[in-house]
Amino acid sequence: METTLRGVGVSHGVAIGEVRHMGTAVLEPPAKQITADEAEREQGRARQAVSAVAADLIARGQLAGGEAQHVLEAQAMIAEDPELMADVDRRIAVGSTAERGVYDAFASYRDLLAGAGEYMAGRVADLDDVRNRIVARLLGVPMPGVPDSDEPYVLIARDLAPADTALLDPALVLGFVTEEGGPTSHSAILARALGVPAIVALPGAGEIAEGTVIAVDGSTGDLFVEPSSAKKAELAAAAAERKAALAASSGPGATSDGHKVPLLANVGGPADVPAAVEAGAEGVGLFRTEFLFLDDSKKAPSEEKQVESYRKVLEAFPEGRVVVRVLDAGADKPLEFLTPADEPNPALGVRGLRSLLDHPDVLRTQLTALAKAAEGLPVYLEVMAPMVADRTDARAFADACREAGLKAKFGAMVEIPSAALRARSILQEVEFLSLGTNDLAQYAFAADRQVGAVSRLQDPWQPALLDLISMSAEAARAEGKSCGVCGEAAADPLLACVLTGLGVTSLSMGAASIPYVRATLAKYTLAQCERAAAAARAADSAEEARVAAQAVLSGE
């Protein structure tokens, strides 16, 4: 009998197929004691396993490329974290085996971060996956992972680690569903990059029996268990309609009555550029430069290395707009040379611009590198600061840009509610705003963006979040300046129409989402988008806002 479950849709498309579950294994090693004479040997085994796992993650990243490569390289850094390894050595020295020392050290680290409210605690899948890979290697057992199958299937898992998601074969894995995670988790981000329909934060999905036929709608978050023939036909027709609309859509982003809404791409470096160009991106709305810095957490990359990386991206968009976010370190992206190691809650501490202002040499080098990278190119370079809280922050960043001789527009990201509330004040110092809806939701609702249990508060359709976006856009319009969105909200085609109606002037997203947003925007007038936005803001919940906007755009 057909039943419907609902999670959070994070990657567009429809997948219909039989369920296959992610393999699981018990990877808790026995609490066996060793003698003092064996400690040195066990410590060596642990270090060897850690190095091998880190190398494997890096190799997987190089094979996957793009966004996945950055994610996996960051995960490799977790494996080789010096504090973790020091804890492993201590545990082995007092009698633990290598595998037990690794298991207990990771468990302690995990509990410590969760107890401190650490932003990184939400990335449970990442941390557990690294631990499991090291312990499995030491025990000599295979890692649990994606099931072997000769036939296409829909994958269900408690959560998916980046190393698994990055190398999914779209020819076999029609779509996936996770019980945990959130709309901005690594699994969600990589699913969008792969173009695989996906639903996250769907408790109980793991109870669906192996081999059951299900239908996954990654746009709505609906999962249909044993769908009827009529439901399959309905979903197939909707998918065909979307595909036809995508094929017919090309050119710059605009509403049906010609209101221009530039559609830009979010990139992490040169490897992400080809997909953005192929999707017809009109430029880059978010160039995440921190991935370049994550190659070595102990020191910043040289000015020469930065110039080389930045120029490759800038060259790909001649006469296009490229918005670069300066280093956003801290919280889930700690860097030894930049961020404090003992903060009780790094998400609310020294991160983003705050870190850079504490280390002006790092900021100066990056701004100088950007200036050199843009020399002689016809690109429209814009540079923005993350985690701007007020006018004082904005002024400090603008002053630093001018002192570095940067010939570009200076902007501020709106990720903290105070920045939205005082947007007009901030715009006295900078020339544009860019809304990071992921962090803005996190701070507005006190809801960690990686924790599935609070995912409803991370829904970008939340009316309170739409209010903050509207305030920012209205402030920019009053000052005659631009206000874009570069968070995951821009990747939702229906929400893109609402954002346009709120007065947002550009939308930036993962390359795979650009055709969907372009095709949807082209179906409606600006006035329709404005009415949909008003209806969404008048609602009392995210679901009501979505339904209200859809009703307006459907003419109901």
Task: Check 186, 401, 483, 497 and give the catalytic one.
Answer: 186
Q: What is the pLDDT of residue 121?
A: 42
Contact by Cβ (8 Å): 16, 222: no
Average confidence score pLDDT of the chain: 87
Kindly report the pTM of this predicted structure: 0.70
Q: What is the pLDDT of residue 285?
A: 97
Instruction: Please give the share of the chain, as a percent, with pLDDT higher than 90.
Output: 56
Task: Check 12, 70, 401, 486 and give the catalytic one.
Answer: 486
Is 186 labeled as catalytic in the residue annotation?
Answer: yes
Instruction: Tell whether the model's pLDDT for residue 235 goes beyond 50.
Output: yes
pLDDT band at 117 (very low <50, low <70, confident <90, very high): very low
Q: What is the mean pLDDT of residues 164-182?
A: 83
Task: Report which DSSP code applies to 382.
Answer: E
Residue with the larger pLDDT of the pair 75 and 533? 533
**Residue 79 and residue 136: Cα distance in Å, rounded?**
14
Structure tokens at 390: 């007020």
**Residue 190 and residue 187: Cα distance in Å, rounded?**
5
Closest CA to 510 of 525, 494, 488: 488
Q: What is the pLDDT of residue 24?
A: 60
Contact by Cβ (8 Å): 153, 15: no
Q: What is the pLDDT of residue 252?
A: 94
pLDDT band at 297 (very low <50, low <70, confident <90, very high): low
Instruction: Tell whether the model's pLDDT for residue 524 goes beyond 90.
Output: yes
Residue with the larger pLDDT of the pair 310 and 143? 310
Contact by Cβ (8 Å): 57, 73: yes
The mean-pLDDT minimum among 40-54, 70-84, 87-101, 230-244 falls in: 70-84
Q: What is the pLDDT of residue 168?
A: 78
Structure tokens at 432: 């544009």
Task: Report which DSSP code applies to 452.
Answer: G
Q: What is the pLDDT of residue 336?
A: 76
